[in-house]
Amino acid sequence: FAQITAEESEDEPPSREERADARLSERDAAGGNNEGPVTAETEGDGQRDGEEAEQPDQTVTKPQESSDDGSHHVSLLEKIEDTNGLSQQTQSGIITDSRPLLYIEHRNLNPENELKRYFGARAVLGDQRPRQRQRQYVRSTWLTAPKNTWPRYSKTGIAMQLVDTRRGVQYFTFEHHREYQQVQFKFLDAVESMDPNNIVLLLQMNPYHVDSLLQLSDVCRMQEDQEMARDLIERALYSLECAFHPVFSLTSGTCRLDYRRPENRAFFLALFKHLMFLEKRGCPRTALEFCKLILSLDPENDPLCVLLMIDFLSLRAREYTFLTRMFQEWESHRNLSQLPNFAFSLPLAYFFLSQQEERSELELSQARERAAQLIQLALIMFPSVLMPLLDHCSVQPDARVASHSFFGLNAQISQPPALNQLTSLYVGRTHSLWKDPAVMAWLETNVHEVLRMVDARDPLVEESEHKRKMRYQSAPRNIYRHVILSEMKEATAALPLEVTSQPVMGFDPLPPLDSIISYTRPERYLHPSQAGSSLPGRSSSALLQGDIRHDGDEEAGAGQDLNQGVNRLMAAMRDMLANIQFQEPPRDDNPEGDGDWD
């Protein structure tokens, strides 16, 4: 797994993001659609006091706003239109080589923009525009759009500091002020108390406490209340973005966060959970952008191992050239071909490229040849993928394939457990992309070619078998963390006992063993059983921990207790969220209510 520990550099002039966002805003304005920039609010801009200073990008995307340097913005937009009109080919999946691999655009972080492309602005926005005039005063953000049903935001006690700058890369960290630390201690007490009312009351008094939002979102998903679960994650992201350092950039690719610090983990986890909701919602392009964002925060260590899903999102979003380019640029130092997901998704991307009629005949021929070569290598290196993949696609293999030992049951039994987790994860996540009849016909042709090579005793077959036995003896902790967060039953069933036997908290699954602890709970907060623990608050909670195993009679009683606790918690949450906007403590900055901010 050498691909997990490598160095990536994505230096980029900061003006790139401004250019892309400005061009989008200008195009929307020219089309007469002033529904609002990416995720920014369209009303109340005149009362934003000094907030433009915190988010300098937004002033470029709003040429219609009145400001002292408005003429400068207009001239800047005109210059951009003249000089940068041919730099994008996103519809065909081509990313221009002049951009860094993990280049992120603000507009691609907004799922509404993707839904508009699919269904049109009228179908997506509906009657939102008239209602915007009654919205309360909120900050403009890029990661989520604040909702008027949310409690009024006030400073939570989270801040971000610039720790270091080395070789053009800036290292940041979130910090918890004393008041937020006290809330965090209460949250850990609430988790240990096994009383759902304690977490509900804590969130009612502190509606933007991030770990409470993450934990309750998981409970909502367990009860299949996807809407509430997604809303809680978006609120957590909003709380964290409001704490950003003024020079922290989502798009530069040069801003880092250390996952070993507990204060930073909530941002990684909230982005990952938001990404999962976006993909299920049918916004794979937006999900891919968030995946790139997570990877850019720590590309060397990839603490949530998003490399295991970025190929799937690229295929779903039809960003085939991005996937092929990523493999070309990262294979030499990250060994992506050792991952089954890249080994199979890359040839699939080349196959889809070979079906694009707008390409030249030479390009199509090269793509077909590359696809065949790579899929044969993948089948030889990871033969255990084929039969489960066909089974998930409800495809019956022909007699020759079904009777051949190379793809038989022995291929799955003989592989190391760590490899079994990776192949199970890939098949469970990606099988729907292989159901296309044209894909299956192409796969069948290459399967027979591989069997011919096996029967001919090609030395590549024996070499690949040796590699499988030598590698994949144990998986790094970030892969286990990814499997748990992905909740793919095929993969979670293959997790080792050392992972399944410990409590897994939704707000901090499998914390790093080399965590950097900046503050600890005072002795008076510690449960007697936790007094000697180096990681406070890690005791097992039958109410809030997620059980990642899916079989065994001995778990029936615990599961029943969990469901009862969850049902009580959900009932209390619904009452709380229905009434929370009327139970907020008075704010000095708004003594007369929300209506006066219009």
Residue type for position 195: D
Residue pointed to by tokens 């794979």: 284
Q: What is the mean pLDDT of residues 254-269?
A: 97
State residue 261 phi and psi, 5-degree precision: -85, 120
- Of the chain, the end-to-end C-alpha distance in Å amounts to 55
Residue 350: C-alpha distances to residues 284, 322, 323 (Å): 19, 11, 9
Residue type for position 321: T
Task: Characterize 559-580 residue by residue with b for buried, 16 or more Cβ atoms within 10 angstroms of its Cβ, and e for exposed.
Answer: eeebeebbeebbebbeebbeeb
Structure confidence at residue 12 (pLDDT) = 42
409-467 tens-digit pLDDT: 988 888 898 999 999 999 999 999 999 999 999 999 999 999 999 999 999 999 999 99
Candidate from 87-96, 230-239, 395-404, 556-565 with smallest mean pLDDT: 87-96
By the 8 A CB rule, do 272 and 84 touch? no
Task: Report CA Rg, the chain.
Answer: 25
**Around 205, how many Cα atoms within 13 Å sit in the side-chain half-sphere?**
12
**pLDDT grade for 196, boundaries at 50, 70 and 90:** low
393-410 tens-digit pLDDT: 999 999 999 999 999 998
Quote the CA–CA distance of 483 and 506 in Å, as a whole number: 13
Beta bridge partners of 166: 169
Q: Which segments of 31-107 does DSSP mark as H helices, in order?
A: 51-54, 56-60, 70-83
311-359 tens-digit pLDDT: 999 999 999 999 999 999 999 999 999 999 999 999 999 999 999 999 9
State residue 512 phi and psi, 5-degree precision: -60, 145
Task: Return the ∠ at Cα 211 (arms to 206 and 215), rounded to 5°.
Answer: 110
For 458, other C-beta atoms within 10 Å of its C-beta total 14
146-195 tens-digit pLDDT: 999 999 998 899 999 999 999 999 999 999 999 999 999 999 998 888 77
Candidate from 197-201, 242-246, 491-495, 524-528 with smallest mean pLDDT: 524-528
Quote the CA–CA distance of 215 and 264 in Å, as a whole number: 16
Q: Which segments of 487-536 does DSSP mark as H helices, in order?
A: 489-492, 497-500
